[in-house]
Structure 1
């Protein structure tokens, strides 16, 4: 019984000191999990990361547009999932964090029948995705 009380005290102290649950995923882990879900076509997992008023700017390609309604978000990710299972190769990831949230910038290429290079910017607040930019980033001709 004493061990359970001590565990509860440590967890409560961690939440009070950091403002977040001690078991919360890192922003890197959140981004990697999201990219894996996108590649797998797991639309429900992709949608579960959003804050209520989340915003997606999709720049380039056939899905180009602004999506901020839950129905629109489901539709756009369902359409992307229709490409079938993809692999995801992360070339680079940078994270800027402070107590208010984090911005994760990822260069990732999704591959199936064709390669889809993306510059993906994710803005998290309180562990939820509030804003994202999906920039289709084809190689530049020199």
Structure 2
């Protein structure tokens, strides 16, 4: 049985981790936000700052922060962090590019991310148009336009992540990576 003190320490650690990841994403996006995105207007930085005032955040604030840390892990080429957010039987729908296909299960998704990271990372990200909504059956959906850029390749992605709470932690159950034309 988990004691209240242990649960409290865990919650504080989680909030601090989210804060560090949010700052990391914001810092990595700052230099990317100075350049023209190719979409006809100046890009914004990451979505508006997420308030971390209490442990009892709204689910959409939690999942927005998780999504930003997921995109940051992809950009940094950190395969362990990328895979850590997935549920036991996730689905990745990759639309466009050489990795196009539907991938079911952590092992297949890990293999795809391994190929992508080997070919593209490290990357800068520009994250715009972040929208979070509550879906059916307790899911939280985060959508955004995420542009990954390694200096040679600029990959604009219409990104959708579907999170579901599993034992009190939000995990990715569905992911759609759709490359869009600028």
Deviations 1:52-101 (A, max 9, x none): 11000000001000111322111100111111200010021000026712
* Matching residue of 1:90: 127
Residue 105, structure 1, aligned to residue 143, structure 2: yes
- SS of the aligned residue for 1:51 comes to strand
Runs of 4+ in 1 over 6 A off after TM superposition: none
* Matching residue of 1:128: 171
Q: CA RMSD in A?
A: 2.5
More strand by share: 1
Of 69, 81, 84, the residue aligned with 2:117 is 81
TM-score, normalised to structure 1, is 0.79
TM-score, normalised to structure 2, is 0.63
* Matching residue of 2:157: 118
Asked which structure has the greater CA Rg, the reply is 1
Greater Cα offset, 54-63 or 95-104? 95-104
**When the two structures are aligned, how many residues end up with a matched partner?**
125
Deviations 1:109-134 (A, max 9, x none): 00011100000000000001000110
